[in-house]
Structure 1
Amino acid sequence: MPHSTPAFSPAADLAWETTGPGVRRTLVAYNDDLLLVKVEFETGAVGALHQHVHSQISYIESGEFEVTVGDETRVLRAGDTFYAAPNVPHGVVARQAGTLLDSFSPMRLDFLPA
């Protein structure tokens, strides 16, 4: 069964879910090939090191993050991006409260509501 959001998704209609201490996310838009997720972090919150079969590109909308991709760690700020190839470990720590826009290809079925 194909998955897709409507053509338009007003921000006021987005549902937020807490994913860990100081972290919440909302599914902005998706279809079977692509998923866009907005993730908000409080200062000090952690997106634990993990890996998955999806390609991930993340855009730092605001804040400051210590980002690890593979064996490299950098500090990224608003306007910066990072790419995590499939099965490459990656994670973040919010040095300042901020927001990431994460895109995944293909779409992550595990993020969809039950």
Structure 2
Amino acid sequence: MIQSNLFQIEEETTWEDLGNGVTRKVYGYDDRIMLVKARFEAGAVGVLHEHHHTQVTYVDSGVFEMTIGDNVRIIRKGDGYYVPPHEIHGCTCIEPGILIDVFSPHREDFLK
């Protein structure tokens, strides 16, 4: 079984630059779950994609236009969303912000 360190300290966890105004930090995880912080600059796009993971996300800050399947909503600080496995989803950042993602199972592609 894979597992992260027990603690993830903000100042000790580095941002991974994904390009085009998006960065992320991977926090705690094991085989079944993973917590990720994604930071977006205004205008940055989380391109439409799908994956086999269940995803729930909390909007920590900012404003986003979020697409899940055929549904499009403006979401902001305090909002959240759920993405079932294999559902097409993505976002455009309207005002700079941070999304807190939880995936189940963990995103093995984020650990490479």
Q: TM-score range by the shorter chain?
A: over 0.9
1:7 corresponds in structure 2 to: 6
Deviation (angstroms), 1:45: 0.3
Superposed, which structure 2 residues align to 1:53-68 within 5 Å?
53-68=52-67
Deviation (angstroms), 1:10: 1.0
Unaligned runs of 5+ in 1: none
Superposed, which structure 2 residues align to 1:17-56 within 5 Å?
17-56=16-55
- How many residues are treated as equivalent by the alignment? 112
User: Identical aligned pairs, as a percentage?
Assistant: 44
1:91 corresponds in structure 2 to: 90
Partner-residue secondary structure (3-state), 1:111: helix
Structure 1 vs Structure 2 CA RMSD: 0.7
1:110 corresponds in structure 2 to: 109
Report the TM-score, using the length of structure 2 for normalisation. Answer: 0.97
Once residues 29 and 90 of structure 1 are traced to their aligned partners in structure 2, the CA distance between those partners, rounded to angstroms, is: 23
Once residues 41 and 68 of structure 1 are traced to their aligned partners in structure 2, the CA distance between those partners, rounded to angstroms, is: 16
Deviation string, structure 1 residues 19-62 (Cα, Å, up to 9, x no partner): 12000001011111000000000001000000000000010000
Matched, 1:76 2:75: yes
Deviation (angstroms), 1:6: 1.6
